[in-house]
A and B are shown apart, each in its own frame.
Chain A
Amino acid sequence: MAEKKSWYQKIIERPQKPYANPYAGGVLLGVALFLSLLLTGNGLGASAMFARLNGFLVDLVAPSHVDRVPQLLKIAGGNRNPLDNWVTFEIIGVILGAFTAGVLRGHVRPETTKGPKVSERTRWVMAFFGGMIFVYGARMARGCTSGQVLSGGATLSAGSWVIAMVMFVVAYVVAFLLRKMWN
């Protein structure tokens, strides 16, 4: 155990490198999206993973309930395994990629990122409810920043561009109202 802990210490104490130029990150992201469409025919996604993981958990706990909920029936009905889907493996890749980048650049460390005026506990509560609200909205919109704004935006879906604009406008308004939280 002691050895394992030292590995952990090594990772979280790696020297911190600055984040990349955001435009450069964007180019890499754009190339990843293109490769995804070229090789698999689908774009990038994330919110679908939350829906499928939820379907998987409900199917474990209350399989009969799945048949009464159209959204779950679609992904977990009958013999369907909700995790047997492209997004599961894409997210496994995301985890590996993010961890690799985080280790290489010394960004893996247990901490809470927050505005300077709020406590850690407040931030955790807000993060929980923010995640809940966002994913609810992402299910309603059939995709989040990855599936709609990025993938739908680049493939020129009309609805995705509407979603992108509404999301940003609302975010700016809410950000102004909640400015104490982040400044």
Chain B
Amino acid sequence: MFPLASIDVLGKAGVYVVEIFIGFLFGYALEISGFNNAYLLTGQFYFRNGRVIKTLFTAIIVGMVLIFGAVALGILDYDLIWVDPTHLWPGVVGAAIMGVGFVIGGYCPGTSVVSSVTLKKDGMFYVLGGLVGAFLFSETEPLFHYFYNNSTNYGRVTLMDVFHTNAGVVVVAIVIMALLLFWLNEALVKRFGREDSAPHPLPKQWPIGAAAILALAFGVWAIQPSLSQMWARVAPEKAPLLEQYQVQIHPGELVKTMNDHTINTVILDVRDDYSYNLFHLKWARHIPLSQFPAALPSLKKEAKDVPLTVFVVLSDDEGEATQAWKMMAATKIPNIYILSGGMNEWITIFGEEDMAEGLIFEGATSLDTVEALNFYFAGALGDRYRASDLNSDEFTEEWLETLKFSPKIKLQRQQGPVGGGCG
């Protein structure tokens, strides 16, 4: 499974050898594409050649198709690769400054290194200026420290999150847009282009290249795994946890965890509206099973953004909760548990007073065909039962002790990207 936890596999020296190899390809590709020459680079902005768009966007779509193809096949774990976090306004301001520097300097930082290596004097001056720029940034950053770090820090946000769709759709859309951009770029160069020292008319075989990348993109879309396929991938590791009853927590442990304020306990009630309205726990978040797949990305983000988050799924018994748990396990959300015995066991333990007051009655309601609830209610009181209140003073530590359960929750830190970025 990739990415390699390279340091563990290769040792630090091994990782650095790999980096030199990757850098070699990077530098080689930039040089042969003509990016050691500022006149050729800036040719993009005067329609002389359109080289920057051609190379950069080809690299983006080729890289993207390979990455998301590997992710869909289960070869590469998207959660473990570095995806630049979104700091919206610092990004916009920085990008505008870069746009200015690009035209004035004629290079970007990577290409200036390539240019210097091939002995271009302007490239060397650019590198020196770049060092001064890095110095000025670190010295002036305290002046706008808050803006830089906290103003619009959205963390890891992908285009899939923004457009609420899967990676396959985004990959296809971006490839189509890139092909249109290439067409526009070629047309502008043809229309306004002037002499260029490195002309490159579109090769005759261009339709083959365009068709190939488009076919690959649709392929990536076609092989996007379903939730059940994703579950099948993690099942060897996760299914035993269900079978050995290691993730089904006793109601007493839920109360205890709720009262531990160092932990962000999220109760997910996956029953239908009807059952939820009749009776539910205070603070339970209602996501019916049918809507659960759509909620997975935001749950995953919450697990990432709020440290020490524990999810406890519940249903009338354990059936629907287990289905939801499998979906969460398939999407690799950490710290997920099921309320053992569901609402049935909960009311059995905590519902005595409500039953004494005539609000809850024992006896099966046959309305729910998926799982049966062994109780029925005087009305749809929602969370206005005594048994709904997880923080009730009546559930004292001593009383919880009498329930005699063995705690099962073991907090795990979510594994982050193995690599770092440029920030």
Which residues of A does B touch, CB under 8 Å?
A: 12, 18-51, 53-55, 57-58, 69-72, 85-87, 89-102, 105, 107-115, 120, 123-176, 178-179, 181-183
B139 at the interface (CB under 8 A from A): yes
Which of B22, B68, B109 makes the CB contact (< 8 A) with A36? B22
Contact of B131 among A50, A112, A160 (CB under 8 A): A50
CB closest residue in chain B, given A100 = B28
Give how many A-B residue pairs fall within 8 Å (CB-CB).
Answer: 583
Please list the residues of chain B having a beta carbon within 8 angstroms of any beta carbon in chain A: 2-4, 6, 15-34, 36-40, 42, 45-46, 49-51, 54-64, 66-68, 70, 76, 80-88, 90-115, 117-123, 125-139, 141-142, 145, 148, 154, 156-162, 167, 170, 174, 194, 198, 200, 203, 209, 417-423
What are 23 A-B interface contacts by the 8 Å CB criterion?
A19-B34, A27-B59, A29-B55, A29-B62, A38-B70, A39-B22, A47-B422, A48-B423, A53-B134, A97-B24, A97-B26, A98-B27, A120-B121, A135-B131, A135-B133, A137-B101, A148-B95, A151-B84, A158-B161, A160-B86, A167-B102, A171-B99, A183-B46
Q: How far is it, in angstroms, between the C-alpha of A138 and the C-alpha of B148 when the chains are bound?
A: 12
Nearest Cβ in chain A — how far from B171, in angstroms? 8
Residue pair B98, A137 in contact (C-beta under 8 Å): yes
Determine whether the beta carbon of A69 is less than 8 Å from that of B139: yes
Query: Which chain A positions have C-beta within 8 A of B62?
Result: 26-27, 29-31, 34
User: What chain A residues lie within 8 Å of B198 (beta carbons)?
Assistant: 18-19
Chain A hits for B66, CB < 8 A: 30-31, 34
Instruction: Determine whether the beta carbon of A96 is less than 8 Å from that of B137.
Output: no
Main secondary structure of the interface of B (DSSP, over half): helix
Q: A146 to nearest B CB, angstroms?
A: 5
Q: Which of A41, A105, A174 has the most CB of B within 10 A?
A: A41
New A-B pairs, 5, CB < 8 Å, besides A38-B76, A127-B106, A170-B96: A30-B61, A37-B63, A48-B421, A93-B21, A145-B109
Q: How far is the CA of A49 from the CA of B133 in the complex (A)?
A: 12
Nearest neighbor of A36 in chain B, beta-carbon distance: B22
Flag if B159 contacts A161 (CB, 8 Å). Answer: yes
Q: Nearest Cβ distance between residue A132 and chain B, in whole angstroms?
A: 4
Known contacts A94-B114, A123-B122, A167-B96; A113 and B39 CB within 8 A of each other:
yes
